[in-house]
Amino acid sequence: MPNELPGSKMGEGIGGKVQVTRDPNSPTFDPAEKLGATEQKIAWLVANERVKELSSWELSFLSDVYGRSPMTRAMHIKVAKIFKKHWKP
């Protein structure tokens, strides 16, 4: 039986982080490691019950912007405008 990590039952958790990148030889950013205000807005917007309300352009834009580091000021503003348009208190 392989050596187990402290606190693990079956040796789970062994290995490094897994991420999808555009260039596997030069990974740049893992969106799962950063969850700022803009990323939270994007996650809220693309939730299953809300994704139907987005236009195809909005969905494409949000998909392209998510995970960018750093995002430009214009990108943050556009995400905020899309969020404000679809947010219902």
More confident residue, 41 or 5: 41
Q: Place 1 in a pLDDT band, splitting at 50, 70 and 90.
A: very low
Q: What is the pLDDT of residues 29-84, one digit of tens each?
A: 555 566 788 988 998 898 888 888 999 999 999 988 887 878 899 999 999 999 99
Residue 43 is predicted with a pLDDT of 87
Question: Tell me, what's the pLDDT at 74?
Answer: 95
Instruction: Collect all residues with Cβ–Cβ distance below 8 Å to 16 and sequence separation of at least 6.
Output: none
CA-wise closest residue to 57 among 23, 88, 85, 31: 85
Give me the pLDDT at residue 76, please.
94
DSSP category for residue 35: -
Q: What residues have CB less than 8 Å from 54, skipping those under 6 apart?
A: 45, 46, 62, 82, 86
Q: What's the one-letter identity of residue 84?
A: K
